[in-house]
């Protein structure tokens, strides 16, 4: 077969053979599609061909059930006056919190996916009043799902539920004060608490120690979402898990990879498992090569302190691109339960041929001028140590030695620089 590039864009949803409303894109969550329990916003796509379909809640965030519900306490105790969820964004003054976390929380609120009674707290060392936090957040909130008339009212309602507590990460004092304020807002309801660690990895354990000791829920659940990177190699990742488990049970820890929540990535599973036409073609017999490309048209932008310690392979390839590769290549899971999907992904990773150095190219973007415009080098970012040799570009050809993919190269490419072309992560395969 001729090498035809078949590309699909974010937001593309491929209809299954029997098109029914249930197979339509599931990024829109209307009240009718919400579960009966208040505050549950789970979108189930029914399969028309008997094969499992991935639902929005199961295909995001490492496939753990991260529905933020206001359900009963973990010991099943009846709710007294209803439940409440308090979400504390630790590192609220930072880049990720502003760019992604607060906007995502607002999107959940906008789509009625948060419980009726919820509170959002920002926590960081920077001094800020509630009002200053609200002003900061309001700059990045958008009605990005679709334009609706009541967007600004909804924003106002959301911002009224946002508060701020300043404090250190390694001291219990700030978290005790947070605990006091949380109790006030919880107003005697069954308190569930979620902490989102939007902070550099070197302080994950400090925060978990202080917050779990002083600000855990007394009778509801307490959960922690931990951002990547989970260590820099297998040993340090194991060490991080061991440290977190001194204070938390595994069930309380949610490791997040935000690429799993992207429509492009969610659609990949829909494309594969709900289209009879694709399944027989999805193998070495018809696919010549697969390319997973991340190219970002901005550099480190002040995040050089973090990035320089990790580099592009650990920042993008080892997590985001590998997750996409595993979803692309895995066999149909026995069920959509988190463990079953995880097991299929693990089989793909275990079948990967060990990379040889010859199969990897790394580089670092230099400054240059083009069309009268000059583009700075990676090392021109003042937060990057001078003389750094950390890679900002990497490409690798990996092979999966199993019956389905034997001999098919999977090309992973990632670049982070002002002068690359903006393309959200792009998956393509040639047939
Ligand atoms: N930014 C992004 O696009 C993405 C980031 N991530 C991950 O999310 C986490 C947060 O990232 P990001 O928001 O970019 O990080 P930032 O560097 O913006 O840090 C977040 C906040 O943490 C505090 N902080 C920063 N450095 C230190 C330090 N050395 N010691 C103590 N506190 C510090 C600061 O708050 P204050 O001084 O007020 O306490 C800062 O506002 C990281 O684990 C990152 O890997 C994951 C995906 C994407
Ligand atoms: O995890 C990360 O992702 C962002 C890119 O995320 P996107 O959703 O905007 O594509 C990247 O900028 C950052 O370096 C990395 O840590």
Structural domain spans, the chain = 5-15+275-430, 68-248
pLDDT digits (tens, 9 = 90+) for 181-240: 999 999 989 999 999 999 999 999 999 999 999 999 999 999 999 999 999 999 999 999
Predicted local distance difference test score (pLDDT) of residue 54: 34
DSSP-derived secondary structure letter, 195: E
- Give me the DSSP letters along 81-103: S-EEEEEEEETTTSHHIIIIIHH
Predicted local distance difference test score (pLDDT) of residue 11: 30
What's the 413 CA to ligand 1 centre distance in angstroms? 25
Quick check: helix, strand or coil at residue 334? coil
CATH superfamily of 5-15+275-430: Dihydrodipicolinate Reductase; domain 2 (3.30.360.10)
Nearest atom within ligand 2 for CA of residue 307: 14
* For residue 314, pLDDT beyond 60: yes
* For residue 267, pLDDT beyond 60: yes
Determine the Cα–Cα distance for residues 346 and 276; give it in Å rounded to an integer.
25
Nearest atom within ligand 2 for CA of residue 259: 8
Nearest CA to ligand 1 atom 18: 94
**pLDDT confidence tier of residue 412, bands split at 50, 70 and 90:** very high
Nearest CA to ligand 1 atom 5: 96
Tell me which residues have their CB closer than 6 angstroms to ligand 2. 258, 296, 315, 424
pLDDT digits (tens, 9 = 90+) for 45-64: 323 333 333 333 333 333 23
What's the 291 CA to ligand 2 centre distance in angstroms? 18
Among 294, 313, 327, 326, which Cα is nearest to 422's? 294
Q: Which CATH number fits domain 68-248: 3.40.190.10, 3.40.50.720, 3.40.50.970, 3.90.660.10?
A: 3.40.50.720
In percent, how much of the chain has pLDDT > 90?
A: 61
Q: State the average pLDDT over residues 372-401.
A: 93
Within this chain, domains 5-15+275-430 and 68-248 share the same CATH topology: no
């Amino acid at each position: 077969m001729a090498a035809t590039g078949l590309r699909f864009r974010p937001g593309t949803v491929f209809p299954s053979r029997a098109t029914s409303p249930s197979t339509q894109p599931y990024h829109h969550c209307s009240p009718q599609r919400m579960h009966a329990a208040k505050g549950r916003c789970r979108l189930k796509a029914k399969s028309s061909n008997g094969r499992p379909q991935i639902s929005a809640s199961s295909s995001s965030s490492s496939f753990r059930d991260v529905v933020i519900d206001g359900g009963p306490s973990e010991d099943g105790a009846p709710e007294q006056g209803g439940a409440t969820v308090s979400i504390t964004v630790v590192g609220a003054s930072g880049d990720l919190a502003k760019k992604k976390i607060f906007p995502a929380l607002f999107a959940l609120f906008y789509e009625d996916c948060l419980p009726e009674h919820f509170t959002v707290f920002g926590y960081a060392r920077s001094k800020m009043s509630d009002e200053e936090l609200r002003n900061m957040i309001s700059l990045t909130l958008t009605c990005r799902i679709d334009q609706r008339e009541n967007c600004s009212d909804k924003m106002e309602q959301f911002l009224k539920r946002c508060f701020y507590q300043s404090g250190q990460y390694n001291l219990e004092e700030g978290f005790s004060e947070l605990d006091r304020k949380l109790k006030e807002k919880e107003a005697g309801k069954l308190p569930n608490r979620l902490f989102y660690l939007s902070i550099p990895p070197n302080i994950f354990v400090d925060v978990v120690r202080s917050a779990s000791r002083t600000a855990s829920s007394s009778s509801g659940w307490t959960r922690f979402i931990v951002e990547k990177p989970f260590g820099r190699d297998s040993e340090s990742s194991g060490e991080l898990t061991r440290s977190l488990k001194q204070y938390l049970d595994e069930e309380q820890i949610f490791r997040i990879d935000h690429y799993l929540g992207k429509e492009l990535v969610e659609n990949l599973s829909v494309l594969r498992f709900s289209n009879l036409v694709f399944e027989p073609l999805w193998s070495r017999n018809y696919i010549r090569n697969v390319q997973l490309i991340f190219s970002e048209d901005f550099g480190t932008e002040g995040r050089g302190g973090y990035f320089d310690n990790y580099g592009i392979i650990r920042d993008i390839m080892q997590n985001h691109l590998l997750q996409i590769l595993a979803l692309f290549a895995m066999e149909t899971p026995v069920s959509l339960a988190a463990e079953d999907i995880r097991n299929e992904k693990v089989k793909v990773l275990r079948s990967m041929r060990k990379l040889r150095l010859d199969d990897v190219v790394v580089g670092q973007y230099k400054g240059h001028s083009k069309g009268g415009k000059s583009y700075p080098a990676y090392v021109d970012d003042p937060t990057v140590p001078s003389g750094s040799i950390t890679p900002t570009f990497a490409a690798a050809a990996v092979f999966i030695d199993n019956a389905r993919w034997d001999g098919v190269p999977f090309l992973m490419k990632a670049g982070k620089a002002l002068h690359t072309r903006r393309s959200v992560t792009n998956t393509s395969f040639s047939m």
